[in-house]
Amino acid sequence: MPIDREQVEHIAALARIALTDAEKEAFARQLSDILDQFEVLQTLDTAGVEPTAHVAGLDTVLRDDEPAESLDAEDTLLNAPRRRGDLFQVRAVLDE
């Protein structure tokens, strides 16, 4: 299935990745090549086949609801690119 430049821009927007013009060209070509490899799946009849969730069949794993220590604020913020006091600092989310 061929992917054009417009579709690449749509996917990049979904994935929140800015792309250069050169990247858009390359990805359109490469993603088309890769999707061609996927066509083989359409030749398999999978009507009524259950999709795989866990390979060993684990299902709805529950644990006891026991309080435990979690990371303290300093550790949590240790790798924050920008912080203000004990808070992560982010850009404005709402328009003025």
Partner 1 sequence: MSTPAASDLWQLSVAEASRLLANREISSVELTDACLERIAAVDDRISAYITVTADIARQQAADADRRIAAGDASPLTGVPMQIKDLLCTNGVATTCASRMLAEYVPVYDATAVARLREQGAVMLGKGNMDEFGMGSSTENSAFFPTRNPWDTSRVPGGSSGGSAAAVAAGAAPFALGTDTGGSIRQPASFCGVTGLKPTYGRVSRYGLVAYASSLDQVGPLARDAADCALILQAIAGHDPRDATSLPDPVPDYSAALTGDIKGLRLGVPREYFAEGMDPGVRATVTAAIDQLAALGAEVREVSLPTTEYALACYYIIAPSECSANLARYDGVKYGYSYQDDGRGDVDMWEAMERTRQHGFGPEVKRRIMLGAFALSSGYYDAYYHKAQQVRTLIRQDFARVFEEVDALAAPVSPVTAFPIGDRTDDPVRMYLVDVYTLPVNMAGLPAMSVPCGFSDGLPVGLQLIGSHLTEGHLLNIAHTYQQATEWHQQRPGIPHRGR
Name the residues that contact partner 1, by CB under 8 A.
3, 7-8, 11-12, 14-19, 23, 26-27, 30-31, 33-34, 37-38, 40-42, 44, 46, 49-52, 54-56, 58, 61, 63, 71, 75-76, 78-82, 88, 90-93
The amino acid sitting at 38 is: F
> What CA–CA distance (Å, rounded) separates 29 from 24?
9
Beta carbon of residue 89, minimum distance to partner 1 (angstroms, whole number): 9
Beta carbon of residue 22, minimum distance to partner 1 (angstroms, whole number): 11
Which residues, in sequence order, are bridge partners of residue 84? 87
CA dihedral sign of residues 25, 31, 34, 35: negative
Other beta carbons within 10 angstroms of residue 8's beta carbon come to: 21
In the complex with partner 1, the residue whose CB is nearer, 85 or 93, is: 93
